[in-house]
Amino acid sequence: MRARLIQVTQRRGVRLSTATAFLKPAAQRPNLRVLTNAQVKGVRLDGKRAVGIEFWQGETLTSADARREVIVAAGAIGSPQILQLSGVGPAALLRQHGIEVRHELAGGSARTCRTTANRASFFACATPRRSMKSRTAIYGAPS
Per DSSP bridges, beta strands 137-138 and 10-11 are: unpaired
Q: What is the pLDDT confidence band of residue 19, given thresholds at 50, 70 and 90? A: confident
> Is pLDDT larger for residue 141 or for residue 3?
3
pLDDT of residue 74: 86
Q: What is the mean pLDDT of residues 62-91?
A: 91
**Residue-level pLDDT at 52:** 95
Higher pLDDT, 66 or 136: 66
Residue 137: band (very low, low, confident or very high) from pLDDT cuts 50, 70, 90: very low
Confidence of residue 33 (pLDDT cuts 50, 70, 90): confident
CA dihedral 81, 87, 92, 95 (to 10 degrees): 100
| 3-state secondary structure (DSSP) of residue 129 | strand
If one counts every other C-beta atom within 10 angstroms of the C-beta of residue 76, the result is 12
Mean pLDDT calculated for residue range 31-50: 90
Q: What is the mean pLDDT of residues 78-83?
A: 92
pLDDT mean over 10-32? 84
The SS3 of residue 14 is strand
Looking at per-residue confidence, does 76 or 86 come out higher? 86
User: Tell me, what's the pLDDT at 11?
Assistant: 81
What tens digit of pLDDT does each residue of 81-115 get?
999 999 999 999 999 999 999 999 876 444 444 44
Three-state secondary-structure class, residue 26? helix
The whole-number pLDDT of residue 1 equals: 64
CA distances (Å), origin 58, targets 8, 72, 78, 82: 33, 21, 19, 18
Q: Could you tell me the CA-to-CA distances from 42 to 62, 102, 132, 139 in Å, in that order?
A: 11, 12, 35, 45
23 and 34 in contact (C-beta within 8 Å)?
yes
